[in-house]
Structure 1
Amino acid sequence: MKKLIYLLVVIIVLISCKTEKKENMKEEIKTVASISDEDLETAIIYEANIRQYSVEGTFNEFTKDIPQLKELGVKIIWVMPIYPISTTKSKGTLGSYYAISDYTKVNPEFGNLEDVKALVKTAHENGMFVILDWVANHTGWNHVWLKEHPEYYTKNEAGEITHTVGTDWTDVADLNYDNQEMRAEMLEDMKYWVNEVDVDGFRCDVAGMVPVDFWEHTVAELKKIKPVFMLAEAWESNLLENAFDMNYGWDTHHRMNHIAKGEENVKNWDARMAQIDTLYADDDILMNFVTNHDENSWNGTVKERMGDASEAMLALSYCAPGMPLIYSGQEYDMNKRLLFFEKDTINKQKGKVWPLMQKLAELKKNNKALNGGKNAASYSKIQSSDNENILIFSREKEGDKITFMANLSKNDVEFTSEKEGESVDFFTNEKINFLKDKKIFLKAWEYKIFFD
């Protein structure tokens, strides 16, 4: 009898130890809460092109690399469309991600629903959020709605469903937002991904081509489930009033391209900063980028478009007001145009860009002067003796202050500036004393970041 009691005690102890171990293991896995305004102040967003990210082109291969994205300060992962691609009127061999045949299914080319859930779970465990690319303006030509609900689509005078007027998007059928039933179904399909997969929001393709009132109602309904982050591929400021958190900084990007090519100068940049002040509210966020999937595939690589100015423009995209974007492969010094309708792949070898992004992410995360969310740091222009070629500005918040200084021209420049006082070079830790009449020399496309 004593032996039996002893054996029972041992079994109970072993079970309790295993239970305690499991509970401790659960505690070790830290998941993020819903995205907050505080997260947006220091956030860096990463655009994941699943098809081209790896040789396999799968969710699982990308998921393996999520932990190392923390080295780059990534907080939000935007995954390009993951849905089945229409095979009717498709372009190229594999078709466009943006010609969707079913909003609530997964493209088998990339994996399955469980793989998507694993991606989101891994991101959450690593302190990141995931937003899915959403295409609300149109569907592919073999989307289930075309057979079951042709009334959901725009039709021409002959009663035929059409592609979006004024575009060459012949591989997609335009949706009719006068149809309230279609709007309701679209909302339910978006809810599916929040409820079933726990995604944290959406990047919305050509958002300005969809009625604002649809977005306002939809986002309000999504937020009843959880706080979501909404990125609009658009520039229109009214989208940011009651629907989206962030727009594309398209015109900021265009200024970068034109300055890098010598077609514009710092005065055009200054005009753009003034334009932002007039177009957008103080709590609006713009996404800064030197590349993305459209720019890379259709307009050229960073090196093609920006040449020797590439590094300065990358640093500027982090230091200017807004949220910086990293596009798949950019962190690996990618200098190729990824095919859009075919299988391609990036070469994942770290070069100069990865360590630079690490340094810039460190600054973005730890210095409030680079806060770029809804309570962003201030931006102040600093004059120089050469305001056409030399860009100098300071940003400041709650006692933190940085100065960005760059020669945005192909020639070496000697100049003076209105900057005064002692500063510390972010990259070298060298102390520098600035005086109004003291000459400063910067090589072509050279840039500096200072702690003040």
Structure 2
Amino acid sequence: MKNLTLAASLLALSAFTPPSLPVADTSAPVLANDPNTTSEVPQDNKLVIYQLLPRLFGNKVALNKPYGTILENGCGKFNDINDLALTKIKELGVSHMWYTGVLEHATMTSYPAAGLPADDADVVKGRAGSPYAVKDYYDVDPDLAVNPKNRLEEFEALVKRTHAHGLKVIIDFIPNHVARSYHSDAKPAGVVDLGAQDDKTKSFAPNNNFYYLPGQHFVVPAGYNPLGALKGPGEDGKYNEFPAKATGNDVFSAAPKLDDWFETVKLNYGVDYQNGRATHFDPVPDTWKKMRDILVYWAQKDVDGFRCDVAEMVPVEFWAYVIPEVKKVKPGIIFIGEAYNPKEYNTYLTKGHFDFLYDKVGLYDGLRRLMRQEGTTDDITHVWKEESNGFSSHMLRFLENHDEQRIASKEFATNPRRAIPAMTVAATLASGPVMLYMGQEVGEPAAGAAGFNTGDGRTTIFDYWSVPEHQKWMNHGKFDGGKLSPEQKQLRDFYARLLSLAGSSEAIRKGRFYELQDANNLGKEYDQRKLYTFLRYSKGQQVLVVVNFSDTKTYHPTVLIPDNVLQTIGLDPQRIYAYHDLLNGGEARNSLNLTLEPLSATVLEIKPR
């Protein structure tokens, strides 16, 4: 979840401290002070993450009626992510499944037999509701269960099924805000609900879970009409909340605006925003303890990791406290932070103990410009140099997720093949994780207005909907791609080859990095603006990556690897080498006289002849 004014909401964080990195392949040499390389110690293993929304993934209904109900438009279930589906996803080279929208959230759909009423439509976005407006941290979305009464058991079965396929499970943790209707009816015995013991006469108190606006009633934003001419439960422009609570994106007003996160309320982590952001972290605030207990609850359900929503909107001191606490319970569990402030990345990795952070304001933005034929490869150089001081291998790289526009949409790049060079860079530039979003591998364009989502190049997370190109691959549960076009099959095959290579190649998984742009900028037919070349190397493997971002021009460069660089990566300049294309296959080549078609990528392993 993102906010366009997020930077204005970030908390003041502590100063830079040098990162503590895991020990990996330190045997590979590095040229000291060489501006083309980094001395960072990489991760030892590379995560390949597949993000999917269960609500969308298994949905076989193709109606896609705007504002459609769950009965009209359908909804995927936990059980749809079955053994066959997991087998086919793993064939993409995936190691981790990020199941998005698992926790119970506010919705316009009721389940009377399970004792779950619909929420007031005036504080719900979309008929299905936002997965980031959590209504019960201890429960899962009943929409996703075949039998809503057994929803938790069905989720637990999905976790076991995923593990049986050698895959790990990541779910969302949304720490900054909850639905206005938050109330846990599934909390374990002895757990006190959020806000149950708050002193509502005070706008701020260190142990309150929420922030209040005493004496004021909450006001639904003027003009909010969630279902247009259709009427949802309670849709009357009113919502009974007294005293009003602060809104999730740090809005301390009883009348938030239409473009605020008005459907959510801000959680109090001991920061007094209205009094100079004074902090009250000692003793440990009650909210910290409640959130620790929630994370431990899911860790004990055998979840392997958390993607932490808008992590920078929660004080880093909380993460410094809670992540070690959870890792005491499950040492191998991972924490991925949604982060957008590069100046604070090191703080959240070192002081905050995150394993990984989003590389959105950096590599994603640069690759997006290149895919739109607007940028140059200087954007990539800038990113790795900025991140080479200790955290490149801790950055999660992606080209799509639920917050971003689809590559194949007219709002982004239109042609899904424009992802080929960009995704190759994202997957191979460093040893940190790489992520694929459901439907990206078949060129889903996210066309059409779903309801609350008005058709902006993003696949809706708010509405009951389906993903048409993904459905062609799913093929009514056969998961065989039977309805894909030849071009879509070729695209998916590319993703499978690339991600499998990224997760298995020693040099890509845990090797070091060396850029070859400077060495080739004067070479014949080497357009440094459109071509990008670099090495990944470890003790046991040396790999050359070359990509062409141009969507019109074929290049025929002779790529140069200087003798001193060969020595750096552990090769003898006096020997003769062959070059094996690990990405595209074919016969080994005896030279680096390359033909680079438009929107192409090659990954060459360098081996003695």
Range of TM-score over shorter length:
0.7 to 0.9
Which residue in the other structure is 1:14 paired with? none
- Which is further off, 265-274 or 301-310? 301-310
Q: What is the CA-CA distance between 1:40 and the residue it aligns to?
A: 6.4
Q: What is the CA-CA distance between 1:220 and the residue it aligns to?
A: 1.0
Which residue in the other structure is 1:193 paired with? 298
Q: What is the CA-CA distance between 1:254 and the residue it aligns to?
A: 0.8
Confirm or deny that 1:431 pairs with 2:568.
no
Which residue in the other structure is 2:373 paired with? 262
Trace 1:321-400 onto structure 2 (pairs within 5 A).
321=430, 322-336=432-446, 337-346=458-467, 347-349=471-473, 350=481, 351-371=489-509, 376-383=510-517, 384=520, 385=522, 386-400=527-541
Give unpaired runs (5+ residues) of structure 1: 1-35
SS in 2 for 1:293: coil
Deviations 1:371-407 (A, max 9, x none): 1xxxx31111113233222100010112211111112
Confirm or deny that 1:91 pairs with 2:125.
yes
1:109 equivalent among 143, 147, 154: 143
Q: What is the CA-CA distance between 1:348 and the residue it aligns to?
A: 4.2
Report the number of matched residues: 404
- Output the aligned Cα RMSD: 2.4
Q: Distance in 1 between matches of 2:305 and 2:261?
A: 26
Give unpaired runs (5+ residues) of structure 2: 1-21, 25-42, 60-74, 107-118, 146-150, 184-193, 201-207, 217-242, 252-258, 271-279, 447-457, 474-480, 482-488, 563-576
Point out 4+ residue stretches in structure 1 off by more than 4 angstroms: 36-40, 156-159
Confirm or deny that 1:233 pairs with 2:387.
no
Q: Distance in 2 between matches of 1:405 and 1:392?
A: 4
Q: What is the CA-CA distance between 1:135 and the residue it aligns to?
A: 0.2
8 Å Cα contact 1:245-1:285 kept in structure 2: yes
Which residue in the other structure is 2:398 paired with? 289
Counterpart of 2:167, as a letter, is M
2:88 equivalent among 34, 53, 68: 68
1:204 equivalent among 305, 308, 320: 308
Q: Distance in 1 between matches of 2:504 and 2:141?
A: 39
Confirm or deny that 1:43 pairs with 2:47.
yes
2:382 equivalent among 244, 268, 271: 271
Cα pair distance change 1:40/1:339, threshold 3 Å: farther
Cα pair distance change 1:189/1:405, threshold 3 Å: same
Q: Distance in 2 between matches of 1:442 and 1:160?
A: 60
Counterpart of 1:76, as a letter, is H
Counterpart of 1:115, as a letter, is E
Confirm or deny that 1:124 pairs with 2:177.
no
Q: What is the CA-CA distance between 1:231 and the residue it aligns to?
A: 0.8
Give % identity: 25
Confirm or deny that 1:446 pairs with 2:600.
yes
Cα pair distance change 1:152/1:285, threshold 3 Å: same
Counterpart of 2:504, as a letter, is N
Counterpart of 1:312, as a letter, is P
Q: Distance in 1 between matches of 2:176 and 2:303?
A: 21
8 Å Cα contact 1:43-1:76 kept in structure 2: yes
Counterpart of 2:366, as a letter, is R
- Which is further off, 167-176 or 91-100? 167-176
Q: What is the CA-CA distance between 1:365 and the residue it aligns to?
A: 3.3
8 Å Cα contact 2:406-2:440 kept in structure 1: no
Q: What is the CA-CA distance between 1:139 and the residue it aligns to?
A: 0.3
Tell me the TM-score normalized by structure 1: 0.83
Q: What is the CA-CA distance between 1:37 and the residue it aligns to?
A: 9.2
Counterpart of 1:341, as a letter, is F
8 Å Cα contact 2:407-2:443 kept in structure 1: no
Deviations 1:106-125 (A, max 9, x none): 11111201111111111111
Cα pair distance change 1:181/1:60, threshold 3 Å: same
Which residue in the other structure is 1:135 paired with? 174
Q: Distance in 2 between matches of 1:148 and 1:54?
A: 41
Counterpart of 2:495, as a letter, is M
- Which is further off, 63-72 or 136-145? 63-72
Confirm or deny that 1:53 pairs with 2:57.
yes
Which residue in the other structure is 1:78 paired with? 98
Cα pair distance change 1:154/1:37, threshold 3 Å: farther
